[in-house]
Each structure stands twice: as C-alpha cells, then as structure tokens.
Amino acid sequence: MHSPGSSFSYGAKKAAEYTCDARHFAIIPAMQNRRLTPLDRLLVGANNALKTVAAPAGRTARANPANAIAEGSLDSLEKAHAAGLMRVNHAGEVAAQALYQGHATVARDRNIEAQMQRAADEEFDHLAWCEQRLSELGEAPSRLSPFWYAGAYAIGAASGILGDKWSLGFIAETERQVCAHLEHHLDDLPAEDARSRAIVMQMRDEEEEHGENAIDAGAADLPAPIKKLMEITARVMTRTAYWV
C-alpha cells in the first residue's frame, strides 16, 4: 500500500526501473511548462488514439518479462487458446490506454493527472508485451481495437468530468476487476506457456498497484449497480476479443 501523497516517490521508484526513456504517448501537461489548450488536448488525444489502435506498439520503456523464458511446446489448439487469451489482454490494454488518457484529459488535479500518465506508461508496456506475444503465437490483435478505444475513452472522460474522486473510483474498480480477470487467465493459460504467463503475472502485479494508488489518492467507492454494469461491459469485451 502507498500512503497518501506518496505519488512522487512512487514515480521515482518506477522511473528507476525503466531501461530507457521511450515515452510513447504525450499528454502530460503536468510535466510541461504550459497548460495545453483544448485544441492541443484534442490533437494529442487523436494522436495517442491512432498510435494505440493503428500503429505497431514499438519500443517499450522496460524489458519484456518473458525475455529470459524459453518457448514452450504448445500444440495448435493450445497456441490458439493462448492467443485468444492474449488478444483479450491486448484489447484490455487498448481500453486501459483510452481510460487513462480520457481520465487525464479531464483531471482537475495535476498530481492525479501525472499519476494517471505514469500508469498509462506502464499500460503501454503491457500493450506492447501482449502484442509481441500475440505475434509470437502467430496471431494479431483484435480487429475491434478502435471500438474498444473509443468506448473506453468516452467512459474515462465522462467519469473524469464528475470529478477526480469518481474518476479514481472508476480506476480502482476497473483495476480490481482486471486483476481478477488476469488471475483467471493465469489458471487458464496452457501449462507450457510460461512466456505468456510471465507477462500476465507482471501485468497483474502492476494493475494491483494502479488500483492501490487510485485508492490512496482518494478514490470514491462506486455504487454497486455501476460496478455491475462495468462487469457486464467487460464480459462483452473479453468474450468478443477472444475471437475477433
């Protein structure tokens, strides 16, 4: 757990883990000297959306956790199943990018905005690692990525407009649900697929941290019907992205 106001030391600790300064996305007015205009934000947001859904993820800031792990001997059915699960995870990371970008765009507190950007940077590594694994398994990301991005961005911005504590509450609940879902994938991945498992384990640990940071920063507890709705939406996305 992180204590309130610990976001700076958290950021410094995370920065020390990075192997290079490969910032893929650029929203972060908090790290710039001037406030972005609404038009700046729109253009940066459009650029980030295109990078997420239409460009190869490219260089990550941190090494892929599967790098030192040998490829397992998967038969064709196991490969297809692992690819389906990793496509679901990739779609989740596309949505995570959009959510964090959407939240950060409307965040009122600059510290929260910066915290969201740090999380978005880690989510980008997750996105790239899933993409790399999918390619190793001979498959591609979901063809519905633009749809996942647009939906999640709208939800992120809408909850952000209600205020930071609701936006953080939304993040905390999203990350909680994602952790549960990744735990399920750790059980469900083929036993031989240690490379996918290493990626999913690191993602699970970091999603947990994102959720704790959101709670420490003052997340509100969302009403039960909203949590339920989020679960239903996530179920639609995961069931569809497994196949498409």
Candidates 13, 102, 117, 107; CA nearest to 49 is 102
Among 190, 207, 215, 222, binds Fe ion (CB under 5 A): 207
Give the number of other CB atoms < 10 A from CB of residue 79: 18
- Identify which of residues 79 and 126 has a Cβ nearer to Fe ion in the complex: 126
Q: Shortest approach of Fe ion to residue 234 CB, angstroms?
A: 13
Residue 126 near residue 196 (C-beta atoms within 8 A): no
Give the number of other CB atoms < 10 A from CB of residue 228: 11
Q: Shortest approach of Fe ion to residue 119 CB, angstroms?
A: 6
Mark 67-96 with x for binding to Fe ion (rule: CB under 5 A) and - for no binding: -----------------------------x
Among 133, 195, 204, 210, binds Fe ion (CB under 5 A): 210
142 Cβ neighbours under 8 A, 6+ residues apart: 87, 90, 91, 94, 148, 240, 241, 244
Q: Shortest approach of Fe ion to residue 73 CB, angstroms?
A: 28
Mark 93-132 with x for binding to Fe ion (rule: CB under 5 A) and - for no binding: ---x--------------------------x--x------
Q: For residue 127, what are the CA distances in angstroms to 17, 29, 85, 180?
A: 18, 23, 13, 18
Interaction site with Fe ion (CB under 5 A): 96, 123, 126, 207, 210
